[in-house]
């Protein structure tokens, strides 16, 4: 169960990782550039700023989820 839940977290977080960089920042950037965030065309913003912020958030969310999971399954370090 511990490992299954871990894999589920990984799948969700890595999906977001892929979407914000490879999709929003590259493949869909053209479409997103029609929208604006302040002075930034949105696709450009994801490629040069947004994806990096998301990466940082993803790691901290993962750390939070895993520390909770370790405790729940009683496999955390003493």
Partner 1 sequence: MSAQTWTYILVGGTFLVYIIIAILSRAGSTKEFYVAGGGVSPIANGMATAADWMSAASFLSMTGLIAFMGFSGGQYLMGWTGGYVLLALLLAPYLRKFGKFTVPDFIGERYYSKNARLIALICALFVSFTYVVGQMKGVGVAFARFLNVPFDTGVLIGIGIVFFYAVLGGMKGITYTQVAQFCVLIFAFTVPAIFISLQMTGNPIPQLGFGSRGTDGVFLLEKLNQLSVDLGFDSYTSIDKNNLINMFFITGALMFGTAGLPHVIVRFFTVPRVKDARISAGWALLFIAILYTTAPAVAVFARTNILNSLSNASYEDVPSWFTNWERTGLLSFEDKNQDGTIQYLADPALNELTVDQDIIVLANPEIANLPAWVIGLVVAGGLAAALSTAAGLLLVISTSISHDLLKNYLRPDISEKGELYAARVAIAVAVVAAGLAGLNPPGFVAQVVALAFGLAASSFFPAIILGIFDKRMNREGALTGMILGIVFTTSYIIYFKPQLGGPGLAEDFWWGISPEGIGTLGMLLNFTVALIVSRLTSPPPAEVVELTERIRTPRGSEKHTVELH
CB 38 within 8 A of CB 29: no
**Footprint of partner 1 on residues 29-58 (CB under 8 A)?**
29-30, 33, 37-41, 43-45, 47-49, 51-53, 55-56, 58
Integer angstrom CA distances of residue 27 from 7, 21, 33, 58, 61: 26, 9, 11, 21, 26
Q: CA–CA separation, 63 vs 68, rounded Å?
A: 9
Regarding 12 and contact with partner 1 (CB under 8 A), the answer is no
The 3-state DSSP class for residue 18 equals helix
Nearest distance from C-beta of residue 37 to partner 1, angstroms? 7
Q: Which residues bind partner 1 (CB under 8 A)?
A: 2-3, 6, 10, 13-14, 17, 21-22, 25-27, 29-30, 33, 37-41, 43-45, 47-49, 51-53, 55-56, 58-60, 62-63, 66-67, 70, 73-78
């Amino acid at each position: 169960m511990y490992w299954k839940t871990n894999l589920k977290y990984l799948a969700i977080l890595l999906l977001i990782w892929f979407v914000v960089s490879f999709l929003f920042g590259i493949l869909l950037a053209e479409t997103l550039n029609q929208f604006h965030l302040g002075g930034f065309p949105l696709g450009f913003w994801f490629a040069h700023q947004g994806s990096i912020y998301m990466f940082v958030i993803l790691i901290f969310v993962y750390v939070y989820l895993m520390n909770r999971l370790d405790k729940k399954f009683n496999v955390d370090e003493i």
